[in-house]
A and B are shown apart, each in its own frame.
Chain A
Protein backbone atom coordinates (compact mmCIF):
# COMPACT_ATOMS: atom_id res chain seq x y z
CA UNK A 1 0.00 0.00 0.00
CA UNK A 2 2.84 2.38 0.68
CA UNK A 3 4.32 1.63 -2.73
CA UNK A 4 3.13 4.34 -5.09
CA UNK A 5 1.88 3.29 -8.47
CA UNK A 6 1.11 5.78 -11.25
CA UNK A 7 -2.38 4.38 -11.75
CA UNK A 8 -3.21 5.13 -8.13
CA UNK A 9 -2.48 8.85 -8.31
CA UNK A 10 -5.66 9.90 -10.07
CA UNK A 11 -7.96 8.03 -7.79
CA UNK A 12 -6.14 8.37 -4.46
CA UNK A 13 -8.32 9.77 -1.68
CA UNK A 14 -5.14 10.53 0.25
CA UNK A 15 -1.62 10.80 -1.02
CA UNK A 16 1.39 11.78 1.04
CA UNK A 17 4.49 12.30 -0.98
CA UNK A 18 7.78 12.53 0.93
CA UNK A 19 6.05 14.24 3.83
CA UNK A 20 8.04 15.31 6.88
CA UNK A 21 6.90 17.22 9.91
CA UNK A 22 8.66 18.98 12.72
CA UNK A 23 7.32 21.46 15.27
CA UNK A 24 9.48 24.57 15.66
CA UNK A 25 13.08 23.55 16.07
CA UNK A 26 12.40 20.09 17.44
CA UNK A 27 13.47 16.91 15.70
CA UNK A 28 11.36 15.57 12.87
CA UNK A 29 8.31 13.69 14.09
CA UNK A 30 7.57 12.34 10.64
CA UNK A 31 10.24 11.70 8.03
CA UNK A 32 9.70 11.17 4.35
CA UNK A 33 6.29 9.57 4.61
CA UNK A 34 4.77 8.15 1.42
CA UNK A 35 1.20 6.94 1.65
CA UNK A 36 -1.66 6.30 -0.72
CA UNK A 37 -5.19 5.49 0.42
CA UNK A 38 -7.54 4.47 -2.34
CA UNK A 39 -11.13 5.70 -2.25
CA UNK A 40 -13.32 3.33 -0.28
CA UNK A 41 -10.36 1.73 1.48
CA UNK A 42 -10.29 0.90 5.17
CA UNK A 43 -6.96 1.15 7.01
CA UNK A 44 -5.48 1.20 10.43
CA UNK A 45 -2.67 3.39 11.65
CA UNK A 46 -0.80 2.18 14.67
CA UNK A 47 2.37 2.84 16.60
CA UNK A 48 3.60 3.45 20.10
CA UNK A 49 2.48 6.46 22.08
CA UNK A 50 4.32 9.52 20.81
CA UNK A 51 5.14 7.85 17.50
CA UNK A 52 3.34 10.63 15.64
CA UNK A 53 -0.02 9.06 14.84
CA UNK A 54 -1.97 12.17 15.81
CA UNK A 55 0.49 14.37 13.94
CA UNK A 56 0.05 12.30 10.81
CA UNK A 57 -3.72 12.54 11.16
CA UNK A 58 -3.44 16.32 11.57
CA UNK A 59 -1.77 16.41 8.19
CA UNK A 60 -4.62 14.37 6.74
CA UNK A 61 -7.40 16.57 8.10
CA UNK A 62 -5.50 19.67 7.07
CA UNK A 63 -4.94 21.12 10.51
CA UNK A 64 -1.20 21.23 9.98
CA UNK A 65 0.91 21.79 6.87
CA UNK A 66 3.90 19.48 6.38
CA UNK A 67 7.39 20.84 6.86
CA UNK A 68 8.42 19.11 3.65
CA UNK A 69 6.63 17.10 1.01
CA UNK A 70 3.11 17.25 -0.35
CA UNK A 71 -0.26 16.23 1.05
CA UNK A 72 -2.94 15.63 -1.57
CA UNK A 73 -6.58 14.93 -0.87
CA UNK A 74 -8.88 13.67 -3.57
CA UNK A 75 -6.24 14.41 -6.16
CA UNK A 76 -5.64 18.01 -5.09
CA UNK A 77 -2.22 19.02 -3.74
CA UNK A 78 -3.11 21.04 -0.66
CA UNK A 79 0.02 23.17 -0.57
CA UNK A 80 -1.20 25.28 -3.46
CA UNK A 81 -4.78 25.81 -2.40
CA UNK A 82 -6.29 29.04 -1.13
CA UNK A 83 -7.73 29.18 2.38
CA UNK A 84 -11.27 28.91 1.04
CA UNK A 85 -10.31 25.94 -1.10
CA UNK A 86 -8.78 24.27 1.95
CA UNK A 87 -12.00 24.88 3.87
CA UNK A 88 -13.99 23.31 1.05
CA UNK A 89 -11.68 20.29 1.13
CA UNK A 90 -12.04 19.94 4.90
CA UNK A 91 -15.80 19.63 4.44
CA UNK A 92 -15.18 16.38 2.62
CA UNK A 93 -13.32 15.01 5.64
CA UNK A 94 -14.92 13.79 8.86
CA UNK A 95 -12.79 13.62 11.96
CA UNK A 96 -13.37 11.71 15.20
CA UNK A 97 -11.05 13.03 17.85
CA UNK A 98 -9.70 10.89 20.63
CA UNK A 99 -10.98 13.41 23.17
CA UNK A 100 -14.27 13.89 21.25
CA UNK A 101 -14.01 17.71 21.15
CA UNK A 102 -17.74 18.20 21.54
CA UNK A 103 -18.84 21.76 22.18
CA UNK A 104 -20.10 21.71 25.73
CA UNK A 105 -22.61 24.54 25.31
CA UNK A 106 -24.37 22.72 22.49
CA UNK A 107 -26.71 19.75 22.72
CA UNK A 108 -25.97 16.39 21.10
CA UNK A 109 -28.24 17.39 18.22
CA UNK A 110 -26.50 20.74 17.78
CA UNK A 111 -23.06 19.17 17.94
CA UNK A 112 -23.97 16.76 15.18
CA UNK A 113 -25.56 19.54 13.14
CA UNK A 114 -22.49 21.76 13.48
CA UNK A 115 -20.78 20.74 10.20
CA UNK A 116 -24.06 21.29 8.37
CA UNK A 117 -24.45 24.76 9.87
CA UNK A 118 -20.88 25.47 8.80
CA UNK A 119 -21.89 24.44 5.27
CA UNK A 120 -24.71 26.97 5.40
CA UNK A 121 -27.56 24.45 5.44
CA UNK A 122 -30.90 25.51 6.91
CA UNK A 123 -32.13 23.59 9.91
CA UNK A 124 -35.28 22.66 8.06
CA UNK A 125 -33.07 20.87 5.54
CA UNK A 126 -31.07 18.81 8.00
CA UNK A 127 -33.21 18.37 11.10
CA UNK A 128 -34.61 15.01 10.06
CA UNK A 129 -31.24 13.65 8.91
CA UNK A 130 -29.54 14.61 12.17
CA UNK A 131 -32.30 13.11 14.27
CA UNK A 132 -32.23 9.90 12.25
CA UNK A 133 -28.47 9.66 12.51
CA UNK A 134 -28.53 10.14 16.26
CA UNK A 135 -31.28 7.55 16.50
CA UNK A 136 -29.15 5.21 14.39
CA UNK A 137 -26.26 5.51 16.86
CA UNK A 138 -28.67 4.84 19.72
CA UNK A 139 -29.13 8.39 20.97
CA UNK A 140 -32.63 9.06 19.73
CA UNK A 141 -33.80 9.76 23.25
CA UNK A 142 -30.82 11.97 24.10
CA UNK A 143 -31.00 14.47 21.25
CA UNK A 144 -31.17 17.58 23.38
CA UNK A 145 -28.82 16.56 26.14
CA UNK A 146 -25.57 18.43 26.66
CA UNK A 147 -22.32 16.46 26.47
CA UNK A 148 -21.66 16.63 30.20
CA UNK A 149 -24.85 14.69 30.84
CA UNK A 150 -23.84 11.92 28.43
CA UNK A 151 -21.65 8.93 29.20
CA UNK A 152 -18.25 8.51 27.54
CA UNK A 153 -19.68 6.05 25.05
CA UNK A 154 -22.58 8.35 24.24
CA UNK A 155 -20.25 11.28 23.74
CA UNK A 156 -18.12 9.13 21.47
CA UNK A 157 -21.16 8.25 19.39
CA UNK A 158 -22.12 11.92 19.14
CA UNK A 159 -18.59 12.70 17.96
CA UNK A 160 -18.83 9.95 15.37
CA UNK A 161 -22.24 11.13 14.23
CA UNK A 162 -20.84 14.63 13.84
CA UNK A 163 -17.97 13.25 11.75
CA UNK A 164 -20.23 11.33 9.39
CA UNK A 165 -23.29 13.57 9.16
CA UNK A 166 -22.03 15.20 5.97
CA UNK A 167 -21.29 11.78 4.47
CA UNK A 168 -17.62 12.67 4.06
CA UNK A 169 -15.37 11.13 1.45
CA UNK A 170 -12.71 10.53 4.07
CA UNK A 171 -13.23 9.59 7.71
CA UNK A 172 -10.33 9.94 10.10
CA UNK A 173 -10.63 8.56 13.63
CA UNK A 174 -8.02 9.00 16.32
CA UNK A 175 -8.20 6.25 18.93
CA UNK A 176 -11.99 6.05 18.60
CA UNK A 177 -12.22 3.13 21.00
CA UNK A 178 -9.76 4.51 23.53
CA UNK A 179 -12.37 5.82 25.93
CA UNK A 180 -15.03 3.17 25.73
CA UNK A 181 -15.39 -0.39 26.95
CA UNK A 182 -14.59 -3.28 24.58
CA UNK A 183 -18.21 -3.93 23.69
CA UNK A 184 -18.80 -0.32 22.80
CA UNK A 185 -15.49 -0.26 20.93
CA UNK A 186 -16.62 -3.19 18.80
CA UNK A 187 -19.96 -1.50 18.09
CA UNK A 188 -18.24 1.68 17.01
CA UNK A 189 -15.90 -0.24 14.74
CA UNK A 190 -18.92 -1.86 13.17
CA UNK A 191 -20.32 1.60 12.57
CA UNK A 192 -17.15 2.60 10.69
CA UNK A 193 -17.35 -0.51 8.56
CA UNK A 194 -20.99 0.22 7.78
CA UNK A 195 -20.00 3.65 6.54
CA UNK A 196 -17.13 2.24 4.56
CA UNK A 197 -19.28 -0.44 3.00
CA UNK A 198 -22.50 1.46 2.43
CA UNK A 199 -21.21 4.91 1.48
CA UNK A 200 -17.77 4.03 0.16
CA UNK A 201 -16.16 6.35 2.68
CA UNK A 202 -12.40 6.04 2.90
CA UNK A 203 -11.64 5.27 6.53
CA UNK A 204 -8.39 5.45 8.43
CA UNK A 205 -8.35 4.68 12.11
CA UNK A 206 -5.45 5.38 14.44
CA UNK A 207 -5.34 2.91 17.29
CA UNK A 208 -2.91 1.03 19.45
CA UNK A 209 -5.53 -1.63 20.22
CA UNK A 210 -3.75 -4.58 18.62
CA UNK A 211 -6.52 -6.93 19.67
CA UNK A 212 -8.94 -4.95 17.57
CA UNK A 213 -6.57 -4.76 14.62
CA UNK A 214 -5.95 -8.52 14.67
CA UNK A 215 -9.66 -9.22 14.36
CA UNK A 216 -10.12 -7.21 11.21
CA UNK A 217 -8.83 -7.85 7.76
CA UNK A 218 -7.64 -4.39 6.80
CA UNK A 219 -4.26 -2.88 5.94
CA UNK A 220 -2.26 -1.71 8.93
CA UNK A 221 0.33 1.04 8.81
CA UNK A 222 2.78 1.33 11.66
CA UNK A 223 4.58 4.51 12.60
CA UNK A 224 7.98 4.05 14.21
CA UNK A 225 10.88 6.47 14.47
CA UNK A 226 9.03 8.90 12.21
CA UNK A 227 8.80 6.33 9.41
CA UNK A 228 5.65 4.67 8.10
CA UNK A 229 5.72 1.00 7.18
CA UNK A 230 2.96 -1.34 6.16
CA UNK A 231 2.69 -4.09 8.68
CA UNK A 232 2.02 -7.73 7.90
CA UNK A 233 1.65 -10.93 9.84
CA UNK A 234 -0.21 -9.27 12.71
CA UNK A 235 -3.58 -10.77 11.86
CA UNK A 236 -4.84 -14.10 12.97
CA UNK A 237 -5.31 -16.69 10.21
CA UNK A 238 -9.06 -16.46 10.78
CA UNK A 239 -9.01 -12.74 10.22
CA UNK A 240 -6.98 -13.07 7.06
CA UNK A 241 -9.50 -15.58 5.69
CA UNK A 242 -12.39 -13.22 6.22
CA UNK A 243 -13.52 -11.24 3.22
CA UNK A 244 -16.06 -9.13 5.04
CA UNK A 245 -14.59 -7.42 8.07
CA UNK A 246 -18.08 -6.86 9.46
CA UNK A 247 -18.28 -10.54 10.17
CA UNK A 248 -15.53 -10.13 12.72
CA UNK A 249 -17.61 -7.67 14.68
CA UNK A 250 -19.79 -8.71 17.58
Chain B
Protein backbone atom coordinates (compact mmCIF):
# COMPACT_ATOMS: atom_id res chain seq x y z
CA UNK B 1 0.00 0.00 0.00
CA UNK B 2 1.32 3.41 -0.95
CA UNK B 3 2.15 5.64 2.02
CA UNK B 4 0.02 8.73 2.55
CA UNK B 5 1.43 11.84 0.89
CA UNK B 6 3.40 14.13 3.15
CA UNK B 7 2.72 17.81 3.57
CA UNK B 8 4.80 20.03 1.35
CA UNK B 9 6.12 21.59 4.55
CA UNK B 10 8.08 19.32 6.89
CA UNK B 11 6.73 18.40 10.28
CA UNK B 12 7.21 20.94 13.01
CA UNK B 13 10.63 21.23 14.57
CA UNK B 14 12.02 22.41 17.91
CA UNK B 15 11.41 26.03 16.95
CA UNK B 16 7.71 25.33 16.56
CA UNK B 17 7.65 23.52 19.89
CA UNK B 18 8.93 26.70 21.52
CA UNK B 19 6.33 28.72 19.63
CA UNK B 20 3.67 26.27 20.75
CA UNK B 21 4.65 26.90 24.36
CA UNK B 22 4.67 30.69 23.93
CA UNK B 23 1.28 30.77 22.17
CA UNK B 24 -0.16 28.36 24.73
CA UNK B 25 1.07 30.52 27.60
CA UNK B 26 -0.29 33.67 25.98
CA UNK B 27 -3.65 31.99 25.41
CA UNK B 28 -3.70 30.85 29.03
CA UNK B 29 -3.07 34.40 30.24
CA UNK B 30 -5.55 35.87 27.75
CA UNK B 31 -8.25 33.41 28.81
CA UNK B 32 -7.65 34.21 32.47
CA UNK B 33 -7.73 37.94 31.77
CA UNK B 34 -10.94 37.54 29.75
CA UNK B 35 -12.55 35.54 32.54
CA UNK B 36 -11.43 38.17 35.07
CA UNK B 37 -12.89 40.93 32.92
CA UNK B 38 -16.14 39.05 32.59
CA UNK B 39 -16.29 38.27 36.32
CA UNK B 40 -15.50 41.85 37.23
CA UNK B 41 -18.25 43.05 34.92
CA UNK B 42 -20.69 40.59 36.45
CA UNK B 43 -19.74 41.51 39.98
CA UNK B 44 -20.09 45.21 39.27
CA UNK B 45 -23.50 44.73 37.75
CA UNK B 46 -24.80 42.52 40.54
CA UNK B 47 -23.42 44.59 43.36
CA UNK B 48 -24.46 47.98 42.08
CA UNK B 49 -27.93 46.68 41.16
CA UNK B 50 -28.25 45.56 44.74
CA UNK B 51 -27.19 48.76 46.46
CA UNK B 52 -28.56 51.31 44.06
CA UNK B 53 -32.02 52.48 45.11
CA UNK B 54 -31.28 51.86 48.75
CA UNK B 55 -30.84 54.59 51.36
CA UNK B 56 -29.86 54.52 54.99
CA UNK B 57 -31.32 57.27 57.18
CA UNK B 58 -29.70 57.97 60.55
CA UNK B 59 -31.67 59.87 63.16
CA UNK B 60 -29.76 61.62 65.94
CA UNK B 61 -31.36 61.96 69.40
CA UNK B 62 -34.25 59.69 68.57
CA UNK B 63 -35.50 56.59 70.34
CA UNK B 64 -37.07 53.46 68.90
CA UNK B 65 -40.55 54.98 68.87
CA UNK B 66 -39.47 58.11 67.06
CA UNK B 67 -37.55 55.98 64.65
CA UNK B 68 -40.63 53.89 63.85
CA UNK B 69 -42.69 57.04 63.29
CA UNK B 70 -40.04 58.47 61.02
CA UNK B 71 -40.07 55.23 59.04
CA UNK B 72 -43.84 55.54 58.58
CA UNK B 73 -43.34 59.11 57.45
CA UNK B 74 -40.73 58.13 54.93
CA UNK B 75 -42.87 55.30 53.59
CA UNK B 76 -45.38 57.89 52.46
CA UNK B 77 -42.88 59.90 50.45
CA UNK B 78 -43.42 59.56 46.72
CA UNK B 79 -40.99 57.10 45.17
CA UNK B 80 -40.40 55.14 48.37
CA UNK B 81 -41.17 51.47 48.08
CA UNK B 82 -40.47 50.56 51.71
CA UNK B 83 -39.02 52.08 54.87
CA UNK B 84 -38.09 50.02 57.92
CA UNK B 85 -36.57 51.10 61.22
CA UNK B 86 -33.69 49.00 62.47
CA UNK B 87 -34.36 47.17 65.70
CA UNK B 88 -31.99 47.48 68.68
CA UNK B 89 -30.76 43.97 67.98
CA UNK B 90 -29.92 44.87 64.41
CA UNK B 91 -28.08 48.01 65.47
CA UNK B 92 -26.14 46.05 68.10
CA UNK B 93 -25.20 43.50 65.48
CA UNK B 94 -23.89 46.23 63.23
CA UNK B 95 -21.82 47.71 66.00
CA UNK B 96 -20.66 44.40 67.42
CA UNK B 97 -17.30 44.46 65.62
CA UNK B 98 -16.49 47.70 67.45
CA UNK B 99 -18.15 47.24 70.83
CA UNK B 100 -18.27 43.49 71.30
CA UNK B 101 -21.16 41.27 72.29
CA UNK B 102 -21.75 42.94 75.63
CA UNK B 103 -23.87 45.60 74.03
CA UNK B 104 -23.64 49.37 73.94
CA UNK B 105 -23.20 51.62 76.92
CA UNK B 106 -26.60 52.94 77.88
CA UNK B 107 -25.48 56.56 77.84
CA UNK B 108 -23.96 56.35 74.37
CA UNK B 109 -25.98 58.49 71.91
CA UNK B 110 -26.29 56.00 69.08
CA UNK B 111 -28.26 57.19 66.04
CA UNK B 112 -31.30 55.18 65.01
CA UNK B 113 -31.20 53.75 61.50
CA UNK B 114 -33.95 53.40 58.89
CA UNK B 115 -33.52 51.38 55.71
CA UNK B 116 -35.35 52.94 52.76
CA UNK B 117 -35.92 51.16 49.45
CA UNK B 118 -36.85 53.31 46.46
CA UNK B 119 -39.20 52.38 43.67
CA UNK B 120 -37.56 51.50 40.41
CA UNK B 121 -37.04 54.67 38.41
CA UNK B 122 -37.76 56.89 41.40
CA UNK B 123 -34.92 59.22 40.47
CA UNK B 124 -32.84 61.08 42.99
CA UNK B 125 -34.82 60.38 46.15
CA UNK B 126 -32.22 61.56 48.68
CA UNK B 127 -33.17 65.27 48.79
CA UNK B 128 -36.86 64.44 49.11
CA UNK B 129 -36.20 62.15 52.07
CA UNK B 130 -34.08 64.83 53.74
CA UNK B 131 -36.75 67.48 53.18
CA UNK B 132 -39.55 65.30 54.58
CA UNK B 133 -37.57 64.53 57.74
CA UNK B 134 -36.45 68.12 58.16
CA UNK B 135 -40.02 69.42 57.87
CA UNK B 136 -41.12 66.88 60.48
CA UNK B 137 -38.42 68.15 62.85
CA UNK B 138 -36.04 65.26 62.75
CA UNK B 139 -32.29 65.70 62.96
CA UNK B 140 -31.50 63.26 60.18
CA UNK B 141 -28.84 62.41 57.65
CA UNK B 142 -29.61 60.50 54.48
CA UNK B 143 -26.91 58.25 53.10
CA UNK B 144 -27.47 57.48 49.41
CA UNK B 145 -25.54 54.32 48.65
CA UNK B 146 -25.46 55.22 45.00
CA UNK B 147 -22.88 57.92 45.75
CA UNK B 148 -20.21 55.51 46.87
CA UNK B 149 -21.61 52.66 44.82
CA UNK B 150 -20.74 54.85 41.87
CA UNK B 151 -17.16 55.01 43.07
CA UNK B 152 -17.04 51.25 43.41
CA UNK B 153 -18.64 50.86 40.00
CA UNK B 154 -16.08 53.22 38.55
CA UNK B 155 -13.29 51.23 40.13
CA UNK B 156 -14.69 47.97 38.76
CA UNK B 157 -15.06 49.57 35.33
CA UNK B 158 -11.42 50.57 35.44
CA UNK B 159 -10.53 47.02 36.44
CA UNK B 160 -12.59 45.67 33.58
CA UNK B 161 -10.93 47.99 31.08
CA UNK B 162 -7.55 46.95 32.47
CA UNK B 163 -8.43 43.28 32.03
CA UNK B 164 -9.67 43.83 28.49
CA UNK B 165 -6.52 45.84 27.74
CA UNK B 166 -4.47 42.92 28.97
CA UNK B 167 -6.44 40.59 26.68
CA UNK B 168 -5.81 42.93 23.76
CA UNK B 169 -2.13 43.27 24.64
CA UNK B 170 -1.70 39.51 24.98
CA UNK B 171 -3.49 38.96 21.66
CA UNK B 172 -1.30 41.54 19.95
CA UNK B 173 1.78 39.93 21.50
CA UNK B 174 0.68 36.51 20.30
CA UNK B 175 0.12 37.83 16.78
CA UNK B 176 3.51 39.55 16.77
CA UNK B 177 5.21 36.40 18.05
CA UNK B 178 3.49 34.29 15.40
CA UNK B 179 4.37 36.77 12.66
CA UNK B 180 7.99 36.70 13.80
CA UNK B 181 7.97 32.90 13.99
CA UNK B 182 6.40 32.65 10.54
CA UNK B 183 9.07 34.89 9.13
CA UNK B 184 11.74 32.75 10.78
CA UNK B 185 10.07 29.59 9.46
CA UNK B 186 9.93 31.12 6.02
CA UNK B 187 13.65 31.87 6.15
CA UNK B 188 14.43 28.42 7.51
CA UNK B 189 12.43 26.83 4.71
CA UNK B 190 13.54 29.17 2.00
CA UNK B 191 14.74 26.18 0.00
CA UNK B 192 11.27 24.66 -0.03
CA UNK B 193 9.61 27.97 -0.81
CA UNK B 194 12.08 28.55 -3.67
CA UNK B 195 11.39 25.13 -5.17
CA UNK B 196 7.63 25.69 -4.93
CA UNK B 197 7.98 29.18 -6.35
CA UNK B 198 10.04 28.02 -9.31
CA UNK B 199 7.66 25.11 -9.87
CA UNK B 200 4.98 27.72 -10.50
CA UNK B 201 3.22 27.81 -7.14
CA UNK B 202 1.15 30.93 -6.72
CA UNK B 203 1.82 33.10 -3.67
CA UNK B 204 -1.59 32.14 -2.32
CA UNK B 205 -0.71 28.45 -2.58
CA UNK B 206 2.54 28.87 -0.65
CA UNK B 207 0.87 31.11 1.93
CA UNK B 208 -1.88 28.52 2.41
CA UNK B 209 0.71 25.92 3.43
CA UNK B 210 1.98 28.17 6.21
CA UNK B 211 -1.54 29.29 7.10
CA UNK B 212 -2.66 25.71 7.61
CA UNK B 213 0.43 24.91 9.66
CA UNK B 214 0.03 27.92 11.95
CA UNK B 215 -3.76 27.59 12.16
CA UNK B 216 -3.29 24.10 13.60
CA UNK B 217 -0.49 25.29 15.85
CA UNK B 218 -2.61 28.17 17.18
CA UNK B 219 -5.60 25.91 17.63
CA UNK B 220 -3.64 23.28 19.53
CA UNK B 221 -1.66 25.75 21.63
CA UNK B 222 -4.85 27.71 22.34
CA UNK B 223 -6.63 24.54 23.43
CA UNK B 224 -3.86 23.66 25.84
CA UNK B 225 -3.78 27.25 27.16
CA UNK B 226 -7.57 27.27 27.61
CA UNK B 227 -7.56 23.90 29.36
CA UNK B 228 -4.86 25.08 31.76
CA UNK B 229 -6.90 28.26 32.33
CA UNK B 230 -9.97 26.11 33.01
CA UNK B 231 -8.04 24.07 35.55
CA UNK B 232 -6.67 27.24 37.14
CA UNK B 233 -10.13 28.78 37.45
CA UNK B 234 -11.46 25.58 38.98
CA UNK B 235 -8.68 25.69 41.57
CA UNK B 236 -9.32 29.39 42.27
CA UNK B 237 -13.04 28.72 42.73
CA UNK B 238 -12.29 25.90 45.13
CA UNK B 239 -9.84 28.05 47.07
CA UNK B 240 -12.28 30.96 47.11
CA UNK B 241 -15.06 28.81 48.53
CA UNK B 242 -12.87 27.39 51.24
CA UNK B 243 -11.34 30.75 52.17
CA UNK B 244 -12.59 33.89 53.84
CA UNK B 245 -16.32 34.36 54.21
CA UNK B 246 -16.51 38.06 53.43
CA UNK B 247 -15.71 38.07 49.75
CA UNK B 248 -18.82 39.88 48.65
CA UNK B 249 -16.95 42.84 47.19
CA UNK B 250 -14.57 40.65 45.18
CA UNK B 251 -15.38 39.50 41.67
CA UNK B 252 -16.47 35.90 41.83
CA UNK B 253 -14.87 33.55 39.31
CA UNK B 254 -17.35 31.06 38.01
CA UNK B 255 -17.66 28.50 35.26
CA UNK B 256 -21.02 29.25 33.79
CA UNK B 257 -21.89 29.08 30.11
CA UNK B 258 -20.30 32.43 29.10
CA UNK B 259 -17.08 31.44 30.89
CA UNK B 260 -16.96 28.13 29.09
CA UNK B 261 -17.69 29.97 25.85
CA UNK B 262 -14.63 32.15 26.48
CA UNK B 263 -12.52 29.04 26.95
CA UNK B 264 -13.90 27.44 23.78
CA UNK B 265 -13.45 30.58 21.71
CA UNK B 266 -9.87 31.18 22.88
CA UNK B 267 -8.27 28.39 20.77
CA UNK B 268 -10.33 29.37 17.74
CA UNK B 269 -9.22 32.99 18.05
CA UNK B 270 -5.63 31.85 18.59
CA UNK B 271 -5.82 29.66 15.50
CA UNK B 272 -7.37 32.37 13.38
CA UNK B 273 -4.87 34.97 14.61
CA UNK B 274 -2.01 32.58 13.86
CA UNK B 275 -3.41 31.80 10.43
CA UNK B 276 -3.93 35.44 9.50
CA UNK B 277 -0.53 36.51 10.85
CA UNK B 278 1.19 33.70 8.97
CA UNK B 279 -0.67 34.42 5.75
CA UNK B 280 0.09 38.12 5.79
CA UNK B 281 3.74 37.50 6.67
CA UNK B 282 4.24 34.99 3.86
CA UNK B 283 2.44 37.09 1.26
CA UNK B 284 4.48 40.15 2.16
CA UNK B 285 7.68 38.17 2.14
CA UNK B 286 6.95 36.61 -1.26
CA UNK B 287 6.29 40.02 -2.73
CA UNK B 288 9.99 40.79 -2.24
CA UNK B 289 10.96 38.11 -4.78
CA UNK B 290 10.07 38.01 -8.47
Interface membership of B196, Cβ < 8 A: yes
Cα A86 to Cα B203 with chains together (Å): 11
Q: Which single member of A88, A91, A93, A117 contacts B8 (CB below 8 Å)?
A: A117
A69 to chain B, nearest CB (A): 14
Interface-side segment among B35-43, B187-195, B267-275: B187-195
**Which of B5, B10, B192, B194 touches A123 (beta carbons < 8 Å)?**
B5
Please encode chain A, from 174 to 191, with 1 for each CB lying within 8 Å of some chain B CB and 0 for all others.
000000000000000000
Q: Do the beta carbons of A86 and B3 come within 8 Å of each other?
A: no
Q: Tell yes or no: B199 within 8 A of A by CB.
A: yes
By a CB distance below 8 angstroms, the chain A residues around B2 are 109, 127, 144
CB contacts (< 8 Å) of B290 on chain A: these are: 62-65, 86
Q: Is the CB of A103 within 8 A of B8?
A: yes
Shortest B2–chain A CB gap in Å is 7
- Give B1-16 as 1s and 0s: 1 = Cβ < 8 Å from A's Cβ atoms: 0110110101100000
User: For residues 13 through 39 of chain A, which have their beta carbon under 8 Å from a beta carbon of chain B?
Assistant: none
CA distance A107 to B287 in the complex (A): 30
Q: Which of B194, B199, B289 contacts A114 (CB 8 A)?
A: B199
User: What distance in Å separates the Cβ of A92 from its nearest Cβ neighbour in chain B?
Assistant: 8
Contacts of A101 in B (CB 8 A): 191, 194-195
Q: Given the complex of chains A and B, what is the CA–CA distance between A118 and B192 in angstroms?
A: 12
Known: A62-B290, A63-B290, A105-B11. A118 touches B196 (CB 8 A): yes
Overall SS of chain B's interface: loop
State the interface size on chain A (CB cutoff 8 A).
33
**With A101-B194, A144-B2 as contacts: A118 and B10 at CB distance below 8 Å:** no
* CB–CB B6/A91 < 8 A: no
Asked whether A83 lies within 8 Å of B203 as measured between CB atoms, the reply is yes
Q: Given that A62-B290, A63-B290, A144-B2 are contacting pairs, would A103 and B198 also be in contact in the complex, using a CB cutoff of 8 Å? A: no
B97 on the A face (CB < 8 A): no
Identify the closest chain B residue to A64 (Cβ): B290
With beta carbons under 8 angstroms apart, the residue of B195, B197, B200 that contacts A103 is B195
* Set B11, B191, B198: member contacting A95, Cβ < 8 A: B198
The interface residues of chain A lying within 8 Å CB-to-CB of B6 are: 105-107, 110
> Which residues of chain A (78-122) have a CB below 8 Å from chain B?
83-84, 86-93, 95, 101, 103-107, 109-110, 113-115, 117-119
CB distance from B37 to the nearest CB of A (A): 43
Inter-subunit contact A103/B192 (CB<8 Å): yes
Please tell me if the beta carbons of A119 and B200 are within 8 angstroms of each other in the complex.
yes
A44 on the interface (CB 8 Å rule)? no
Closest to B5 in A: A110
- A90 adjacent to B195 (CB under 8 Å): no
* Given A105-B6, A110-B6, also A115-B194 (CB < 8 A): no
Nearest to A59 among chain B residues (CB) is B290
Residue B205 at the A interface, CB < 8 A?
yes
A106 neighbours in B (Cβ, 8 Å): 6, 8
Tell whether, in the assembled complex, residue A87 and residue B202 are in contact, meaning their CB atoms are under 8 Å apart.
Answer: yes
Taking CB atoms, residues of chain A closer than 8 Å to B5 are: 110, 113, 117, 123
Contact A118 B200 (CB under 8 A): yes
Complex: A84 Cα to B203 Cα, angstroms: 8
A174 CB to closest chain B CB (Å) equals: 12
**Interface residue A192 (Cβ < 8 Å from any Cβ of B):** no
Which residues in A have their C-beta under 8 angstroms from that of B199?
Answer: 90-91, 114-115, 118
Query: Cβ of A193 < 8 Å from any Cβ of B?
Result: no
Chain B residues whose C-beta falls within 8 Å of the C-beta of A119 in the assembled complex: 200
Max count, chain A CB within 10 A of own CB: residue among B3, B5, B194: B5
B residues contacting A by CB (< 8 A) are: 2-3, 5-6, 8, 10-11, 191-192, 194-203, 205, 287, 289-290
Q: Top 3 closest A-B pairs, CB basis? A: A91-B200, A90-B200, A105-B10
